[in-house]
Structure 1
Amino acid sequence: MLNVLGWRKLSGTGVNRSGRDCAQEVGSADGCINGLHSDGGNEGGGDGDPDELPDPAGSGATAPVLGEFVDKEEAAPTLVVGTGTAERGTSAAGVVDLEAQAITTEATRQVGWAAFDQGRVGLAQSYFDASLRASAECGDVIAGAYTLSFAAIQCYSSPGLAGRAVSFVDTARTQVRGRSTPRMEAMLAARAARAWSKGGAKEETKYQLHLARAALDKGRHEDDPGFLYWVDYGEIEMIAGSSALELGDPAEALRRFEAGMQAYPGDEQYPRSHAIYLARAAEAHLALHDLDAAVATGRHAAACLGAVDSARSASQLRVLRGKLAPHTAHAGVRDFLEAGKSQKFA
């Protein structure tokens, strides 16, 4: 499992720099590794749960860019920066290179998320661990906590590990207390809500979603890390919908999904995450015995996946197809299932 204890000890003695400071120092870590972005979230994020960090291309499309990152499962995570190689962010003289570590923190997190999105969970864990180490070395507690939130998604997407996900988020919150912005707090509260919903804790889920909304109500802050661009009311409502469905309340799930879609540019900007949320909305319609709506929403989800490559998103569509299979007496269901046979989520 991730070396969270080691990260907590190291990050507690770091130089206490924010993610914004690190990004400014390296001229924006995102810019240095342009092309590596992959979804969360929306968580999802996926579990799609970005709840997932949204991305229009899908992690499958990043594979050629990631190159040797995702092809060498046994190799220690390294990062090529410019014309040199920074391995674990140490210079030739053995001095920690803070710039390289700041870039490595974000790059290895993104590679880990791309690996998870493609179902390579062991590889994902190794890169999340590398990201935590790098964040501790450069003193970027905020970026380390962000990585830990993605590791939490991996946990609560695995049977029986929701409790560990809650622990990961709690650790992240403890480490950033007094150092983060309301938007960071909203993201972590939403992650906690999703983790609690996986364990069936209705009241705690509700409370964490309240905290997430209350944090967003405080508005944007000049110190908000750039990587939190996707955290908004629409995303929180989508997570609330996923959580309600998990807790057996499909009517509430639909209310939350519909509210989220009013402010969530899924079709245009985040098709991978949107496909996951739409598939879940279709499941909610099915639970309420509205087959017409379930099929229509399922078709919308499938259309979102037409131009992206995501194992998690495709898996969510397969779950929906499995739940629709007993209802083939309905013409719309039959057509939907038949059309899907030739698609990636069949």
Structure 2
Amino acid sequence: MGSDVGANIRRERDRRSWSQARLAREVCRAAGISGDPVGRQEISRWETGKRTPREWLPFLAAALGVPVEVLTAPPASAEPPLPTLADFLPEEDPLSPLEGRTGRRVGMGTVDELRQRVHGLRLADDVLAGGDLIRPALRDLRRVVTLYRESGHTSEVGRQLLRQIGELAQIAGWIASDAGQHAEAERIYRLGISAAQHAEDRILAGNLAGSLAYQMSNTGRETEGLILAQAAFRDSQAEAPPKARALYLDRVAWAHTKAGGAENTQQAIRALGEAGQALSEDSPGTESPGYLYWVDAGELRVMESRVYTELHRPLRAVPLLREVLGAYDATHTREMALYLSWLAVALADANEPEEAASVAERVISLASATPSERVAERVRVVLGRLQNHADVPEVAALLAEHR
């Protein structure tokens, strides 16, 4: 029973984004007791199952605003596993049109509807995390692939349908990666690259390849990531508008950064400069694909700040991160958590552990409400980096609470 109660206490506390110290205070308040007979360490013992709250259960329930039965009930069964691409696509070549198609004939109106749906999914990803979006993203991908294979259409409509498959694969791959399904994301990205190549859209193919390279760089495949990021830029730059070139170069900069070494450091900084130059060539009359709507000077500053953080140059990183966070919409919970995590690391590198611990608390609070493996991994990175300052009281308290 103790472990079940502990898991339930932790779940309810996380839902309120409370620290263990905050819950301890609320329990004492609910019990009408002054002082601190229940402290942070006691909450920790309850949550880990080392002790059972017993007589404190009614006051815990009152503090958390739930019935006692919620805290004593067995944990709910695990959610069903996230779907995979194989659940939604045929085993044979998914981009092979069926012989003797029996589906209805579709035109550009259908393509326009799909384009709006894909863009809506991108906008949803701005405020929701991968765990929330993976199922609808894969359902939409199946729908578009099925439409392409089974419907009747002209060659131009078919090419546009392939482009929508590619665009949908790009956002679905990103969502799968955010949910921690890296192998699945790679399969989705490769499907999208194939669709873009069939559509003869080199800009889209470069965007998908760059997205896959970014994932590789972040998941221990730095050499592959660098090779692919460079190839995506090299093969697409001749046709790419300024925004696309800037994005490709940002990914090249990150791939060099993750690859490490003095030469890659120089190449990373050079690519950042070239990305800024490419974006400066963008003008109101320059046409860019709609999926690049988010690429702007602010996003380049985000990457620049992350590169300098990764290179342990906090004097460059901290001002950039503060600027980015000061202008960022707080409704974008995942991005706020990610950028704050970089700020916490940069502050730790700048020998400002107290402030780093304070920022880390905000990251952990946001992470508790964000089903994103990216954010969870950044929490682990931040706590690991703060181990170097474990003798600082604020850091020690944080590490003890979130070990």
Does TM-score exceed 0.5, indicating one fold? yes
Cα distance, 1:330 vs. partner? 3.2
1:303 and 1:180, CA in 2 relative to 1: closer, same or farther beyond 3 A? same
Q: Is the 8 A contact 2:243 2:278 kept in 1?
A: yes
1:192 is the counterpart of 2:263: no
Counterpart position of 1:31 = 116
Cα distance, 1:113 vs. partner? 1.5
Cα distance, 1:213 vs. partner? 1.1
Q: SS at 2:238's partner residue?
A: coil
Cα distance in 2 between the residues matched to 1:185 and 1:34: 21
1:167 and 1:327, CA in 2 relative to 1: closer, same or farther beyond 3 A? closer
1:309 and 1:30, CA in 2 relative to 1: closer, same or farther beyond 3 A? farther
Cα distance in 2 between the residues matched to 1:33 and 1:238: 25
Task: Kindly provide the amino acid, as one letter, of the partner of residue 196 in structure 1.
Answer: H
Q: Out of 319, 323, 334, which is 2:385 matched to?
A: 323
1:241 is the counterpart of 2:305: yes
1:211 and 1:24, CA in 2 relative to 1: closer, same or farther beyond 3 A? farther
Cα distance in 2 between the residues matched to 1:317 and 1:100: 39
1:272 and 1:303, CA in 2 relative to 1: closer, same or farther beyond 3 A? same
Structure possessing the higher radius of gyration over alpha carbons: 2
Structure with the higher fraction of residues in helix conformation: 2
Alignment of 1:125-136 (within 5 A): 125-136=186-197
Task: Kindly provide the amino acid, as one letter, of the partner of residue 162 in structure 1.
Answer: E
Task: Kindly provide the amino acid, as one letter, of the partner of residue 153 in structure 1.
Answer: Y
Cα distance, 1:101 vs. partner? 1.1
Q: C-alpha offsets along residues 223-246 of structure 1, whole Å, 9 cap, x if unaligned?
A: 111111221222212211211122
Q: C-alpha offsets along residues 89-130 of structure 1, whole Å, 9 cap, x if unaligned?
A: 434679862232122111122222211112211111111110
Alignment of 1:224-239 (within 5 A): 224-239=288-303
Cα distance, 1:24 vs. partner? 9.5
Cα distance, 1:153 vs. partner? 0.7
Counterpart position of 1:90 = 149
Question: Structure 1 vs Structure 2: percent identity of aligned residues?
Answer: 22
Q: C-alpha offsets along residues 47-87 of structure 1, whole Å, 9 cap, x if unaligned?
A: xxxxxxx6211111113423668xxxxxxxx6214xx923x
Cα distance in 1 between the residues matched to 2:213 and 2:238: 21
1:256 is the counterpart of 2:327: no
1:101 is the counterpart of 2:162: yes
1:66 is the counterpart of 2:137: yes
1:188 and 1:34, CA in 2 relative to 1: closer, same or farther beyond 3 A? closer
Counterpart position of 2:86 = none
Alignment of 1:132-211 (within 5 A): 132-159=193-220, 161-200=221-260, 201-211=264-274
Q: Is the 8 A contact 1:266 1:273 kept in 2?
A: no
Cα distance, 1:28 vs. partner? 6.4
1:209 and 1:24, CA in 2 relative to 1: closer, same or farther beyond 3 A? farther
Task: Kindly provide the amino acid, as one letter, of the partner of residue 338 in structure 2.
Answer: I
Q: Is the 8 A contact 1:234 1:261 kept in 2?
A: no
Q: SS at 2:122's partner residue?
A: coil
Counterpart position of 2:335 = 273
Q: Is the 8 A contact 1:194 1:243 kept in 2?
A: yes
Q: Is the 8 A contact 2:134 2:172 kept in 1?
A: no
Q: Which moved more, 1:170-179 or 1:314-323?
A: 170-179
Counterpart position of 1:11 = none
1:290 is the counterpart of 2:361: no
Q: C-alpha offsets along residues 113-168 of structure 1, whole Å, 9 cap, x if unaligned?
A: 21111221111111111000111112222111111111011111122x32322222
Counterpart position of 1:119 = 180
Cα distance in 2 between the residues matched to 1:286 and 1:205: 22
Q: Is the 8 A contact 2:226 2:259 kept in 1?
A: no
Cα distance in 2 between the residues matched to 1:94 and 1:31: 19
Q: Is the 8 A contact 1:38 1:114 kept in 2?
A: no
Alignment of 1:44-83 (within 5 A): 55-66=126-137, 79-81=142-144
1:121 and 1:215, CA in 2 relative to 1: closer, same or farther beyond 3 A? same
Cα distance, 1:309 vs. partner? 1.5
Q: SS at 1:223's partner residue?
A: coil
Q: Is the 8 A contact 2:213 2:228 kept in 1?
A: yes
1:273 and 1:232, CA in 2 relative to 1: closer, same or farther beyond 3 A? same
TM-score (norm 1): 0.74
Q: C-alpha offsets along residues 188-223 of structure 1, whole Å, 9 cap, x if unaligned?
A: 111111111112222111111101111222234441
Q: Is the 8 A contact 2:127 2:334 kept in 1?
A: yes
Q: C-alpha offsets along residues 285-341 of structure 1, whole Å, 9 cap, x if unaligned?
A: 1122211210122123234334422011111012212232454443322443455x4
Q: SS at 2:394's partner residue?
A: helix
Which ranges of structure 2 fall in alignment gaps of 5 or more residues? 1-107
Cα distance in 1 between the residues matched to 2:116 and 2:341: 33
Counterpart position of 1:45 = none
What is the number of residues matched between the two proteins? 290
Cα distance, 1:262 vs. partner? 4.5
1:29 and 1:170, CA in 2 relative to 1: closer, same or farther beyond 3 A? farther
Which ranges of structure 1 fall in alignment gaps of 5 or more residues? 1-22, 40-53, 70-77
